[in-house]
Amino acid sequence: MQSRWRDADARKAIEVYGASGASESLALRVYTTQLLGRDPLLVLHGGGNTSLKTEMTDLLGESHAVLCVKGSGRDMATIDPAGLPAVKLEPLRKLRQREALSDEDMLRVQRAYLLDPTAPSPSVEMLLHAFVPHAFVDHTHANAVLGLIDQPSGEELAREVYGARLGFVPYRRPGFGLAKAAAEVFDADPSVEGLILDKHGIFTFGGSAREAYERMIEMVTLAEQRLQRGRKRIFASASLPSRVAEVAEVAPILRGACSLPDGAIEGAWRRLLLEFRTSDAILAFVNSRDVARIAGAGVTTPDHTIRTKGWPLIVPAPAAGKLADFKRDAGKAVQDFIAGYQAYFARNNARVGGGRIMLDCAPRVILVPGLGLIGLGRTKADARIAADIAESAVHTIADAEAIGEYRSIGEADMFDCEYWPPEQIKLARSTEPPLAGQVVAVTGAGGAIGAATARAFAAAGAEVALLDVDAGAAEAKARAIGTSALAVACDVTDAASVRAGFDKVVQTYGGVDIVVSNAGAAWQGRIGEVDEAVLRKSFELNFYGHQRVAQAAVRIMLAQGTGGCLLFNVSKQAVNPGPNFGPYGLPKAATLFLVRQYAVDYGADGIRANAVNADRIRSGLLTDDFIKARSQARGASEKDYMSGNLLQREVTAEDVAQAFLHQALELKTTGDVTTVDGGNIAAALR
């Protein structure tokens, strides 16, 4: 591992952060914190922290010795000076005299001595930073170090590699007890350049930002070099089916099996998003004969329990063409996992005297022999984090096994991290948006109504896939929503394109729960004279397009077995023909019937089918030119045409999006048509 320190970058940091009032040492503290945070071999998703001891003045102009320490939950890769809140150092040091500090008091301490009471809470590892004297302290959960110390002989290996340069602290849960234990190890030999925290990570110290950082790089490099020596062959492969099923077939089955009924509302499911990963290293791991032992041994560092739970779900290899068997076996594996998790909770909750709130029992990592691994989360971002951690663990465990035998902290220690009271408080306070965990696919999402609908569903907490025949338009609208939104090129008049589009949605999120079949276009012509080719073209898009999309969605929804929701943009033309608009209205009328047919045929599977009849929305379909033509056909001015309804209000794409959203949330409604047209008695349904 190479140092990424560059003098020019360091000077730049001093200049940039100095301009907003940061001292040179704080600016360099920020700079090397970013260097650590940007290397996933050192720091993953909040797993590390750094600090600086310096002087700062409060609002009274009085100077204090302070510890600037990484704020809890801050991302080291993008941290700025505000992400390292200053805490008065003396009271923290005095705390060392205490015998113990409860978790509740630890929470108070985190905020009690902040120089700025509006600053973020400092890291829970703050006291360890405070109890050693060095100006700069760096802490990571570097993979290579974990590969060395996550072993029964971790202490001997650490001594072999580091000698007396690093102190060795036996495992304790992060918090006051660990900080005290670490300080005692340090006091026993104050010449150490850092500390190894058994089964957890590494600290390095320095008089300057560069010294502490480059010590970290040096120590991790020594671990990397040791891991290259005396490696034995690992991970002999178990036997696999001759042909393994595709991810797009397997993911909905697993996603459905891991969805739990929402106890409060009939028909509601607590769903998760999936993130699939594969590589040669992952395959060697998941295909290994030893997978149950090595994956079941526990986490590589304790804070991973919050993201991945203590162990993954392992399912049988899915043989191609035998998905019914796989569905049965995977369902059983999930049920066993849940029962095991409940027993783990009950055992350990009793051990700590009760009172913990059980987290949801679904796995956060699934190992699929023959395919790879899957991270799960209530959002796509959380699923990615779980997958990142699981992928990283594959490498760490492989290294540990190659030079010895992988060993994690025990079950009780994992529980104490997973169910650490401050995490429980966060959980109790958190509220989720109404569509958390759900995947929505919107066709025609490059257009006005489709894009507004995708935005409305994303704002309600769903993950959204934007499908459009115009890939560029879908991409632009997806980017505007955020990094979790997916753009998919999809032509709904082409069965293969629909199939490929939905496969991509499934590969990305694991399945689909709500489909807004919105793609459409208008053709005009007097029905007695119109060319049959025009009518067929319109049917291809405005009827068969909806049918293809609905069919693709139903296939996935049935594999998941957790119901679903099909929503169709039908248009008021389906019930109220406009002059010379037959080529558009006729297939839309057939689509209105299609909605009802899906409601009838799939109600027993919990799949709802509803439609929105919208009218006169400015969009790619209803362009200014088109509005001109239609208003002339009706003998009205353009303005009167657009707000020519009972409420005399122009109806917008956002109004239509809200109607789709309501239909998605109405779990007891199917076969419904919602009219969004400002009021038009001639088009009213009866």
The least CB distance from residue 28 to Zn ion, in Å, is: 22
Residue whose token pair is 């139903």: 554
Number of residues that bind Zn ion (CB under 5 A): 1
Give the residue with the Cβ less far from Zn ion, 201 or 510: 201
Nearby residues of 81 by Cβ (< 8 Å), 6 or more positions away: 17, 20, 21, 22, 26, 27, 30, 68
The least CB distance from residue 169 to Zn ion, in Å, is: 11
The least CB distance from residue 142 to Zn ion, in Å, is: 11
The least CB distance from residue 134 to Zn ion, in Å, is: 17
Give the residue with the Cβ less far from Zn ion, 201 or 206: 201
The least CB distance from residue 219 to Zn ion, in Å, is: 15
Contact of 157 with 149, CB cutoff 8 Å: yes
Kindly report the backbone phi and psi dihedral angles of residue 87, in degrees, each rounded to the nearest multiple of 5, phi listed first.
Answer: -120, 135
Give the residue with the Cβ less far from Zn ion, 109 or 574: 109
Give the residue with the Cβ less far from Zn ion, 172 or 270: 172
The least CB distance from residue 363 to Zn ion, in Å, is: 24
Cα(52)–Cα(86) distance, integer angstroms? 9
Q: How far is CA 668 from the centre of its chain?
A: 29
From 544, 584, 598, 602, active-site residue: 584
- Which residue in the shown chain puts its C-beta closest to Zn ion? 201
The least CB distance from residue 125 to Zn ion, in Å, is: 6
Give the residue with the Cβ less far from Zn ion, 85 or 318: 85
Residue whose token pair is 């898009």: 541
Give the residue with the Cβ less far from Zn ion, 84 or 458: 84
**Taking the CA atoms of the chain, what radius of gyration do you get in angstroms?**
30
Cα(445)–Cα(447) distance, integer angstroms? 5
Per-residue contact track with Zn ion, 169 to 208, x per CB under 5 A?
--------------------------------x-------
Kindly report the backbone phi and psi dihedral angles of residue 653, in degrees, each rounded to the nearest multiple of 5, phi listed first.
Answer: -60, -35
Nearby residues of 333 by Cβ (< 8 Å), 6 or more positions away: 257, 313, 314, 315, 316
The H or E element containing residue 395 is helix 380-403
Q: How far is CA 98 from the centre of its chain?
A: 40
The least CB distance from residue 301 to Zn ion, in Å, is: 7
Footprint on residues 261-320 left by Zn ion (CB under 5 A): none
Footprint on residues 581-600 left by Zn ion (CB under 5 A): none
The least CB distance from residue 129 to Zn ion, in Å, is: 11
| β-pair type (564-569, 607-614) | parallel
Give the residue with the Cβ less far from Zn ion, 419 or 509: 419
Nearest to 145 by CA among 396, 391, 328, 348: 396
**For residue 109, what are its two tokens?**
């301490």
Footprint on residues 125-154 left by Zn ion (CB under 5 A): none
Alpha helix positions (H), 445-572: 448-459, 471-481, 495-509, 532-539, 545-560
The least CB distance from residue 71 to Zn ion, in Å, is: 15
Scored b (16 or more CB within 10 A) or e, 235-244 reads beeeeebeeb
Give the residue with the Cβ less far from Zn ion, 287 or 408: 408
Give the residue with the Cβ less far from Zn ion, 273 or 409: 409
Half-sphere exposure of 314 (CA within 13 A, CB side): 17
Nearby residues of 187 by Cβ (< 8 Å), 6 or more positions away: none
Give the residue with the Cβ less far from Zn ion, 139 or 255: 139
Classify the C-alpha dihedral 412-95-71-51 as positive or negative: negative
3-class secondary-structure state, position 565: strand
Residue type, 597: Q
Cα(370)–Cα(276) distance, integer angstroms? 13
Contact of 440 with 518, CB cutoff 8 Å: no
Cα(475)–Cα(479) distance, integer angstroms? 6
Cα(341)–Cα(334) distance, integer angstroms? 10
584 part of the active site:
yes
Kindly report the backbone phi and psi dihedral angles of residue 467, in degrees, each rounded to the nearest multiple of 5, phi listed first.
Answer: -100, 135
Q: Give the active site residues.
A: 584
Binding residues for Zn ion, rule: CB under 5 A, are: 201
